[in-house]
A and B are shown apart, each in its own frame.
Chain A
Amino acid sequence: MRYNERELLSLARQPAEKAAEIRMSVPKKGSVLKKRLVKLVVNFLFYFRTDEAEPIGALLLEHCRITKEEENVFSISFIEEPERKYCFECATEEQCQEWVEALKRASYEFLRRSLIFYRNEIQKMTGKDPLEQYGISEEARFQLGAHRQ
């Protein structure tokens, strides 16, 4: 699958929602935990060797499961391959918890659900659709079930 790697690399250089040096392992046989710079930008998690400017890799965070494993450790796996886990060993329990919370909220799909939720709540409380003033109430992405055209 081709993709615009250049733009993705550029995204990796943007200010991050969250960044830290964390020990990480990939779901490959014999993979060990290695110290990486891990950086969350929009719905991508980039990981770098600590002394390099270009990331080794990127994880798109859609349809993924963030699991708190033993203390200080969390994992990311994807819906279609739940056994393949990317593991992250944090320095403290607190850091681990913060990353879990941040990653759970990092997907576009989560944002979409939030938006629908808020829209609904505001509508119920005030009787008004808050998106109307922006002229976007009919946009497919803000509906409960956007459908294929």
Chain B
Amino acid sequence: MKLNERSVAHYATCDSPADHAGFLRKRVERHHHHAHHHGTSYQRRWFVLKGNLLFYFEEQESREPVGLVVLEGCTVELCEAAEEFAFAIRFDDAGARAYVLVADGQAAMEAWVKALSRASFDYMRLVVRELEKQLEEACKSLAACRKSPWKSSSSSGRKRHLSNPALLPLQEKPTALENGYSTWGSGGCVAGGVTYTDHDGGQTKPPPLPPRRRSAAGSTTGSPVPGLSPAMLESPVSPETICFSKLHNWYGQEIAVLRREWQERQKRGHP
């Protein structure tokens, strides 16, 4: 089966942040079914975890991974190898071999087991769905307090549409907002400049909206486009078609910029 290996290797080595990384000793699997004893040997490799993919390199500085373990559907367990601090990545498949890995110490082993056992796409998706629900509920209870006309078209099946005209000021009909987008980013379900009453009947002014941004061309998943500055980004969202995934890409670009800035500060030695 073919795999887009060049792109996969690029993903492994590009500067998008890793979820975990470090040296591990990897047991070399030899098939000694008929031998009286196994010769177990281990190879020290540099491991990098990104998402649901575990890459390993010959050296930390290597420009290409020597191997990849797709982690989807695996279980991670401590194992009773002769080695201390050993753990295994196993798959359901009856004939599948396990990957036995050995860490440098107790803390390292625990950190790896924790990171790997939460690495699956499915797990991430679970958490996201849960938070999505929580956010909807938080919005609803806020809207209920304001007694606004709430029109929510519930998402069905795979669509993550959140068309929420109710996320607009009380007094006005849904029209184009100041920045041309619904105010998810401003921490409340209101447009800037409009006050709303909270639970206790007090009045709170919502925080100011982020500055106007100009269009970004196309949309990509993954790492930020080099040279993209906040001034070049604009929400592609109009109130009539509030599509969450578009909002995502837009918000994601902001995060990507923040992340880059954070990384640069790290490089300069700031805490």
**Residues of A in contact with B (beta carbons under 8 Å apart):** 1-12, 14, 17-18, 42-43, 54-67, 78-81, 101-102, 104-119, 121-122, 124-126, 130-131, 134, 136, 139-141, 144-149
Partner of A78, one of B10, B20, B119: B10
Q: Is the CB of A3 within 8 A of B9?
A: no
Within 8 A of A (CB), among B122-175: 122, 124-125, 127-128, 130-132, 134-135, 138-139, 142, 158-160
Partner of A9, one of B1, B5, B130, B131: B1
Q: Is the CB of A11 within 8 A of B1?
A: no
Q: Is the CB of A148 within 8 A of B18?
A: yes
Q: Is the CB of A65 within 8 A of B93?
A: no
Interface size on B, residues (CB 8 A): 81
Q: A3-B3, A58-B3, A101-B245 in contact; A79/B10 too (CB < 8 A)? A: yes
Tell yes or no: B84 within 8 A of A by CB: no
**Residues of B in contact with A (beta carbons under 8 Å apart):** 1-11, 14, 16-22, 48, 50-53, 64-70, 72-74, 91-93, 95-96, 111, 114-115, 118-119, 121-122, 124-125, 127-128, 130-132, 134-135, 138-139, 142, 158-160, 184, 187-188, 218-223, 245, 248-249, 251-252, 255, 258-259, 262-263, 266
The A contact surface, by secondary structure, is mixed
Q: Is the CB of B184 within 8 A of A62?
A: no
